[in-house]
Amino acid sequence: MNFEFEKHWINLICLVPVYDQDGGNSTEIWLKGGEKILIPKKTRTVLKRLAKVFALDLPQLKRKFGVLVGRKSSTPLPFHPNLILVPVKVREPLAKDDGSWGYVVKDQVHSCIPLGNTEMEIKFFDSELPLRCLQSAASFNLAMAHAEIITHECYKHWNIIREREELYQVVSTLLSSLNKKKNSSYECRCL
């Protein structure tokens, strides 16, 4: 897997499980501007790799936020304030472990258009390509609502972390200036 998530996660639109030309289980990464990159790994593996970039425990993330929104599976995943991944069913798997779920970035979703009772199309802000899905628009809208609840909960957490970081900076600056003052006072007494 040569795709550098550390550099390009901010450009993600979605992760889509696909069968490659040889029939292998792969993941298509859609990026802003319409670029698609094929990774010859299962979407679950690609998701784990992305979680490592943010030093996240994926099973714990699913459990914690699944409880918050009352979902045992298909829980939206908050990796970063700008990267909340919403699960969408995009294919019928050919084999048991192939996986049928992809993930769209919440903030990239422009709209969803129902195509029937169990199909819809997602349109994105930064891509002209729509994503065809095998779930109802109502089901997807519920997942988006859950993603919004999770986003609000995460912002509380992220704000606490940011406030702690800001407080740490203030205390560090204060201690540094006190040390300088102490050292300069000490030097003055010696003269």
What is the reported pLDDT for 69? Answer: 82
Give CA 77 to chain center in angstroms: 6
For residue 66, give every residue at least 6 positions away whose Cβ sits within 8 Å of its Cβ, in sequence order, or none: 72, 73, 75
pLDDT in tens, 9-57: 999 999 999 998 888 899 999 999 889 999 999 999 999 999 999 999 8
Q: In the structure encoding, which two tokens stand for residue 117, read together?
A: 């009772």
pTM: 0.79
C-alpha distances (whole Å) from 140 to each of 81, 83, 88, 161, 175 are 20, 17, 7, 31, 51
Phi, psi of 22 (to 5 degrees): -95, 5
Residue with the two structure tokens 């304030």 = 81
pLDDT in tens, 119-147: 999 999 988 889 999 999 999 999 999 99
Strand, helix or coil for residue 162: helix
What is the reported pLDDT for 122? Answer: 95
